[in-house]
Structure 1
Amino acid sequence: MISPLLVFNVEPLDKSLQVQLQCNIDNKTKPLGALGTIEGLALQVGLIQNTLTPTLERPVMLVFAADHGVVEAGVSPYPQAVTQQMVLNFLAGGAGINIFARQHNMRMRVVDAGVNHEFPAHPDLIRAKVGMGTNNFLHGPAMTAGQCAQALRSGRALAHAEAASGSNVMGFGEMGIGNTTSASTLVSVLCSLPVEQCVGRGTGLDAAGVARKAAVIREAIGHHQVSAEDPMQVLAIYGGFEIAMMAGAMLGAAERKVILLIDGFIATAALLVASRIAPEILEYCVFAHCSDESGHVLLLEKLDAKPLLNLGLRLGEGTGAALAYPLLQAAVNFLNQMASFESAQISRQEGS
């Protein structure tokens, strides 16, 4: 069970301004509902910030990285060393997420939650290592209950620090060879979905590789027999340090009433765990996209989430969240800058 010392205080949204926000949206110089999803996004941001004039301040992309012991079971076509190599690529500015984050003036922080490598100091690197990668959950829990709690607490502290520095919108991404296996297992157990529906190609598995991954997950689930009613125990047994720390950061961000930009399958799996700890967190979430991982569409349905984009992405890293950020900007700018019928002296539709 969740430790009584680890309580997340995520408050439900204050809806006191909802009627006025909706009135302002409807009074813009457009037919009712003509901006579709952008209108709903503007309303959500206004409610999160509890203001009629929301702003986006110091957007930051948090990319959590860690290694996974289950890689020993042959669930990835890439060796574990790629995790550390990609972290170095992030820090050098050469990865996909670096390009998209720079394009949209998002700061990027790389969080070493548990990579099997010691990195030199770097201004964009946050050292929060819980361990040198998780254990192979085929043979035992991926992490201890204490390590799981440590990861959640560290993520929460990180998000609180970013909010204290002025950030009110945070994107969440990840890197970790083997983490689609971990995420697929979490989704299967917590959502009571068949393993086959939760498993995809990950970093490029062929059909035989996907079948192998599914077999590993089924064996692990049969071995542990953990209750879906205990999300922290499920996370400790099947999770990764980056997934656990990301879940803690999401909860911490929501505690500070920050907008959460949720990336793809693995980030949404972290959110799934977080939502079982504090269901109110979902009100703070903007779902960036539906990834090409087969389990993601089912997971989004379970969370009643409506993603902004569907681009066939399956890179991770937070790339989908960064690509969706301009839509968030558009929603805020529309709410704050678009003329009303009154200010523009434009006649309304008859009967409105």
Structure 2
Amino acid sequence: MSIEDDGDAPIGTAEEQAADWIVRQDGTALGEVEQAAFAAWIAVPEHRREYDRQNAVWQRYRRMASLPIREEEAGSPPRTSRWRPMRSAIGVRFAVPAVAAVLAVAIIGSAEDWPTRLRADYSTGIGERRSVRLADGSVAILGAGSALSFDGSGEARVVTLLGGEAQFEVARDPRRPFRVETAEGSVTALGTVFTVAEHGGSPEVAVLEHSVAVRTSGGAKAVVREGESTRFTAQAVERPVRSDVLAAAAWTRGKLIVSDRPLGEVVAIIGRQRRGYWTVRGDAAKLRVNGVYDLDHPLDALDALEKTLGLRSIRISNRFIVVTR
């Protein structure tokens, strides 16, 4: 299952492709294979024009970033860019570091994804959802940008959630427990259907049927029953609370339903549905969000958030987005 957004795999437009090449080249040398691919790509006149246009803008930002920061005088008109994808008149002292950070993290994030994929038995790409049947007959639905491995050879059936989120419908086998391992601890199925989301060092568990047992790597324990959810770290488990677990699992149907959730988390989830890097700058990340958003159309979801909360953003080809007040 993949989203139907025009910016996802493969990168289709010259604008998107140019942005991708600029990110790859910024601060790192291309390998021989990439150099050959770039030479073939830029030989197309349309590609050359778009690359030159975007690269000129980015180089101008780099030069501006090296200048001393000057505070804007009170009452002076805001500086604006004539480049179309720039969505708002945010001062240079905010825009340049933000754009630089976005591109730098995009490069690092792309490089760090491959080791995870190499360790995984099953994984999903940007904007992809996938249902897989494990060797024991259990079914796992992986959210976008997720990865897991499965070992059913021992006394227990062990899933290692390497990143992202998954919903598990566990095949019954009383003699062999079904356990989901994360970096912070484990979740053992005492029933059939539950979700685990591993984002930012604090996994979230929601139980749709029966119950699960959570045990952190530090030894803390809790039982989470049907209709309850919790979060845990390596040291502690939050007290399980009654919650809308169907909403917690709505991502399996392409929806994000949030209630009183930080904007930074919401944008991070939506951003996994599209190539590039999306982030929220400053205290805007702490704004609380409520609503239903369509994960299959992430740009529309982000536009709705900006409009509802009165926010602004810097956008480069809709792939590198910084949201701010």
**TM band (smaller chain):** under 0.3
Choose between structure 1 and 2 for higher RCO, CA contacts under 8 A separated by at least 6 residues.
1
What TM-score comes out, normalization by structure 1 length? 0.25
Q: Which has the higher helix share?
A: 1
TM-score by length of 2: 0.27
Larger radius of gyration: 2
Q: Report the structure, 1 or 2, having the larger strand content.
A: 2
